[in-house]
Amino acid sequence: MNLNPSPADEEFRAEIAAWMRQHLSGRFAVLRHRGGPGDEDTYPELRRAWEQELAAGGWTCVGWPQEYGGRGLSIEQQVIFHEEYARAGGPGHLGHIGEGLLGPTLMAYGSEDQKQRFLPGILQGKVFWAQGYSEPAAGSDLANVQTKCWQESDGSWRVKGQKVWTSLAHEADWIFVIARSDPASKGRHGLSFLLLPLDQPGIEIRPIRQLSGSCEFNEVFFDAAVAQAADVVGAPGEGWKVAMGLLAVERGVSTLGQQMHFAHELELVIKAAKANGRARDPLIRNRIARAWGGLRVLRYNALRMLSGDGQGMSLGREALSYKYVWSNWHRDLGELAMDVLGPEGDAPAEDFDVLRLQQVFFFSRADTIYGGTNEIQLNQIAERGLGLPREARG
């Protein structure tokens, strides 16, 4: 175990920090620490421009292989990039679904033509993607997809049904969906993975207003919406494999960047506690110390996951519990933040540092639901991590 960075790592860290200082300034300065979860609908135009600024600097898709136009950074360097991006207050990344999910999926399962048509737009920060997996009847039971698709005589596909909890659909240009191509199929079988432009007559996007008041999620309705024949990824009927293949990869690297945001939020809690005197309250002090310790655990969980050779650590157990741990830590932080704020938390604050804490409190209720609820996470930990019997499935 060696947690000391190499001189080359340090140099790379300094390079990103310098680039961020220079570029996240001027008209982009207002974006610092903005656009994260709970705040994703702010400054959409400016954030699009920021994506192109990043692309011009070569800082989109840093983990993609060089043959696809990425930087081909090692895991360590990707971690450093995400840490420094977040430390500098880099805004929530509008392109993350394309960069983290669709891009790697196309590299693994897409045709040459699909790679050539879709990867450059993601790389250049110009084309934004939404993910259409969840449905009203396919939440925790994600394979229970009811949205249908069929092929017309000209080879093109039609999609009919409804997706829900679609992040940023209203800012996106394209959506990838899993839909049932075999009407007789159930569960994971008979699904296909399709790419559709969102701006077409057969698609309607309705924002969902969340308990926090903001609208980051949407319902997306498909009424014979069109996907071109060339826009099916993988073989028809094998959409589940395509959809699930890279979820695990996506989770790892950007998480250390997420933790920098968490660290920033904890700093805001500390700042608020010092300002209003709660920093002298023994119970608040205890909770702040626990939050700090919890953040260290998140960091080492991520480093273990990224070391990933199983050496000395237990068989990827930390990877199974990773989401459960960070989401509950974040929810606790939101509660601590509001307890520190006291009456100051009662109304939306003008000061963004205070508003941010209120957003953490409200939005973190979603953290333990999306991407696998706490209850589903515990099932998976018990079944895959501990070998206990699986839940009955209908």
Residues engaged in binding another protein (CB under 8 A): 1-6, 9, 76, 79, 270, 273-274, 279, 282, 285-286, 288-290, 292-293, 296-297, 299-301, 303-304, 306-307, 309, 311-314, 317-318, 321, 324-325, 375, 377-379, 381-383, 385-389, 391
Give dist(CA 47, CA 171) in Å, integer: 10
Q: Shortest approach of another protein to residue 258 CB, angstroms?
A: 16
Q: Shortest approach of another protein to residue 307 CB, angstroms?
A: 4
Q: Shortest approach of another protein to residue 3 CB, angstroms?
A: 5
Give dist(CA 201, CA 155) in Å, integer: 19
Give dist(CA 360, CA 301) in Å, integer: 22
Q: Shortest approach of another protein to residue 289 CB, angstroms?
A: 4
Smaller CB distance to another protein: residue 107 or 279?
279
Give dist(CA 94, CA 47) in Å, integer: 7
Annotated catalytic residue, options 53, 250, 344, 383: 250
Task: For residue 47, give every residue at least 6 positions away whose Cβ sits within 8 Å of its Cβ, in sequence order, or none.
Answer: 31, 35, 91, 92, 94
8 A C-beta contact, residue 104 and residue 135: no
Smaller CB distance to another protein: residue 213 or 292?
292
Smaller CB distance to another protein: residue 229 or 388?
388
Q: Shortest approach of another protein to residue 277 CB, angstroms?
A: 11
Catalytic residue status for 10: no
Give dist(CA 268, CA 149) in Å, integer: 48
Smaller CB distance to another protein: residue 53 or 76?
76
Smaller CB distance to another protein: residue 27 or 285?
285
Tally the C-alpha atoms within 13 A of residue 181's C-alpha that lie toward its C-beta: 24
Smaller CB distance to another protein: residue 130 or 253?
253
Map residue 206 onto helix, strand or coil: strand
Q: How many CB atoms lie within 10 A of CB 45?
A: 8
Task: For residue 175, give every residue at least 6 positions away whose Cβ sits within 8 Å of its Cβ, in sequence order, or none.
Answer: 129, 130, 131, 132, 163, 166, 169, 195, 196, 198, 203, 220
The size of the chain, in residues, is: 394
Q: Name the residue among 328, 336, 374, 373 with its Cα closest to residue 358.
A: 336
Q: Shortest approach of another protein to residue 128 CB, angstroms?
A: 32
Task: Give how far Cα 19 sits from Cα of 63, 124, 202, 262, 344, Å.
Answer: 18, 18, 42, 22, 36
- Catalytic positions, please? 250
